[in-house]
Amino acid sequence: MWKLILLLLLALPAQAQELLGHGGPVRALAMLPGGTLASGGFDAAVIWWDPAAGRALRVARWHAGAINALAALPDGRLASAGEDGRIALWPGAGAEEPGTILQAEGAPVAALAAAPDGSLAAGGWDGAIQVFGREGGAQRLAGHAGPVTALAWRADGVLLSAGQDGTVRAWEVAGPVTLAERGLPRTALAALPGGGLAEAGLDGQVHLGALSLPAGERPVVALATAPGLLAAATAGGAVTLWSLPEGRLLHRLDGPGLPVWSLAFAPDAATLWTGGQDRRIRRWDAATGAALGPLAAEAAAEAPADAEAFRACGACHTVGPDAAPMAGPSLHRLFGRRMGSLPGYAYSPRLAQGDVTWTRDTVAQLFTEGPDVMLPGTRMPVQRMQDPDDLAALLRYLEQATR
């Protein structure tokens, strides 16, 4: 029931500046060592971003279902997992395929957490937790009566978990210890400096031990911490920033109103990233709560209305002849070009077949049917344009900008 509540919420248009690239809600965010941002979406895509440039470095469509969780490993790798029950360990943003694939015993994975020593924990919809050691091997932990919805590691190496059964547990050496029984599903955890814990759920409260912080009227679905800071996001779109350890409210962010599924602080804690139902990744000034931007590639000034339709494409593609490479191939001289024919770009096997020539009609078909229908097997994030005016604006822009 709680999952249906989260998925069916409605809200208002977005106002903040954002990264555009996913074809569905942004379910997970992770900040990698070195400052690269990774995102995972319901469109089954994992995207690596250069936050400074506001550009996608790579788009991977390896998973066979929605991405529910990401985790940054201490050695720089990224772990991704979701509905297909597979955990992918990516060696870097340029990788064509995962370097390692871990099986989560067939159950969809709802949560991931990386330990300081490199161990990785995965929580499944079957109520079990699997802990994969840095040197190999896996340990299965059972105890939750329902899906495991959140995981975190304390600095001392103790794994923490929360579940739909309303409990929060610590997996001590001697066995699991129940830390809280809230009666309502728990949906988010964050380990705090000094051994503390922030946990939240359907009651809209963030619990810091005996202290409760009112994060919003809707369920809290994501938490993130940085030195002296805690961020909480809700299924109603509310994002709040709190000071630690006292739990003082600093800012309420003026977001889109749609569910915000994911949060991540930049390494210097100066920027907070949020991802949500509207497919956008926003950045915020953690000190002031102000929206920062612009991040998406800016389109031609001479045609702002048509250029707006290109903004999502601009996260992965360039249109000019001398633009720097991005995650997707350049669209320069797109019309009349055969699919998969740009020299030097590593196309997916489907696009490399080259059996489509890009014209107004085929580009329109791509965005009407969606790339997953027209070109099954492509790594392109799922994008559809239902509004004929938006599609016409995109086609006009491409005809002018890609010449």
For 60, 230, 288, the CA distances from 253, given in Å and listed in that order, are 30, 13, 9
Q: What's the token pair of residue 201?
A: 């759920």
Domain assignment present for residue 298? The answer is no
Average pLDDT over residues 76-87: 93
Q: Where is the domain boundary, 270, 292, 314?
A: 292
Q: Are residues 358 and 281 in the same domain?
A: no
CB atoms within 10 A of CB 366: 21
CB atoms within 10 A of CB 75: 11
DSSP state of 292: E
Q: Which of 64-73, 162-171, 196-205, 377-386 has the lowest mean pLDDT?
A: 377-386
Q: What's the token pair of residue 7?
A: 């998925």
Decide: 40 and 46 in contact? Cβ < 8 Å. yes
The strand pairing partners of 181, in sequence order, are 167
Average pLDDT over residues 52-73: 88
Q: Are residues 309 and 288 in the same domain?
A: no
The candidate with the shortest Cα–Cα distance to 166, out of 182, 142, 148, 150, is 182
Quick: pLDDT tens for 180-214: 998 899 999 999 987 889 999 999 999 998 899 99
- Distance CA(149)–CA(93), nearest Å, equals 27
The pLDDT score that the predictor gives to residue 380 is: 77
Decide: 393 and 305 in contact? Cβ < 8 Å. yes
Q: Which domain holds residue 150?
A: 2-292
Q: Are residues 154 and 40 in the same domain?
A: yes
- Distance CA(279)–CA(21), nearest Å, equals 7
Q: Are residues 169 and 311 in the same domain?
A: no
Q: Which of 156-170, 258-272, 298-312, 371-385 has the lowest mean pLDDT?
A: 298-312
The pLDDT score that the predictor gives to residue 302 is: 40
Number of domains in the chain: 2
The strand pairing partners of 195, in sequence order, are none
Q: What's the token pair of residue 340?
A: 């998969």
Domain assignment present for residue 342? The answer is yes
Q: Report the CATH number at residue 320.
A: 1.10.760.10
Which carries the bigger pLDDT value, residue 304 or residue 12? Answer: 304
Largest CA-CA distance found in the chain, in angstroms, rounded: 67
- Strands of the sheet containing 86-90, edge to edge, are 67-72, 78-82, 86-90, 100-103
Decide: 279 and 22 in contact? Cβ < 8 Å. yes
151 pLDDT tier (thresholds 50, 70, 90): very high
The pLDDT score that the predictor gives to residue 18 is: 64
Strands 159-163 and 167-172: antiparallel
Q: Which of 309-313, 320-324, 368-372 has the lowest mean pLDDT?
A: 320-324
Q: Phi-psi region for residue 137, left (φ > 0), alpha (ψ -120 to 50) or beta?
A: left
The pLDDT score that the predictor gives to residue 344 is: 74
Q: Where is the domain boundary, 292, 322, 352?
A: 292
Q: Are residues 7 and 131 in the same domain?
A: yes
Q: What's the token pair of residue 109?
A: 């994975």
Three-state secondary structure call for residue 83: coil
Average pLDDT over residues 98-121: 89
34 pLDDT tier (thresholds 50, 70, 90): confident
12 pLDDT tier (thresholds 50, 70, 90): very low
Whether a cis peptide bond, with omega within 30° of 0, leads into 294 is: yes
Q: Report the CATH number at residue 143.
A: 2.130.10.10
Q: Which of 26-35, 267-276, 352-361, 382-391 has the lowest mean pLDDT?
A: 382-391
Domain assignment present for residue 70? The answer is yes
- Distance CA(28)–CA(19), nearest Å, equals 14
Domain assignment present for residue 299? The answer is no
Q: Where is the domain boundary, 292, 315, 337?
A: 292
Average pLDDT over residues 337-341: 90
Q: Are residues 194 and 76 in the same domain?
A: yes
Average pLDDT over residues 111-125: 94
The pLDDT score that the predictor gives to residue 377 is: 79
Strands 26-31 and 159-163: unpaired
Q: Are residues 210 and 324 in the same domain?
A: no
Quick: pLDDT tens for 245-289: 999 999 999 777 789 999 999 999 999 999 998 888 999 999 999
Q: Are residues 349 and 208 in the same domain?
A: no
Q: Are residues 135 and 203 in the same domain?
A: yes
Q: Are residues 282 and 325 in the same domain?
A: no
Domain assignment present for residue 125? The answer is yes
Domain assignment present for residue 297? The answer is no
Domain assignment present for residue 275? The answer is yes
Q: Which amino acid is at 130?
A: Q
The pLDDT score that the predictor gives to residue 348 is: 79
Q: Are residues 205 and 347 in the same domain?
A: no
Average pLDDT over residues 131-149: 88
For residue 2, what are the contacts with CB-CB under 8 A and spacing of at least 6? 164, 184, 185, 187, 202, 219
Sign of CA dihedral 203, 209, 210, 214: negative
The pLDDT score that the predictor gives to residue 65 is: 86
For 150, 193, 194, the CA distances from 228, given in Å and listed in that order, are 22, 9, 12
The mean pLDDT of the chain is: 85
Residue 38 has pLDDT above 90, yes or no: yes
304 pLDDT tier (thresholds 50, 70, 90): low
Q: Are residues 283 and 368 in the same domain?
A: no
Quick: pLDDT tens for 218-243: 999 999 999 999 999 999 899 999 99
The pLDDT score that the predictor gives to residue 2 is: 46
Residue 296 has pLDDT above 90, yes or no: no
The pTM of the full predicted model, rounded to 2 decimals, is 0.76
Domain assignment present for residue 387? The answer is yes
Decide: 104 and 78 in contact? Cβ < 8 Å. no
Decide: 41 and 29 in contact? Cβ < 8 Å. no
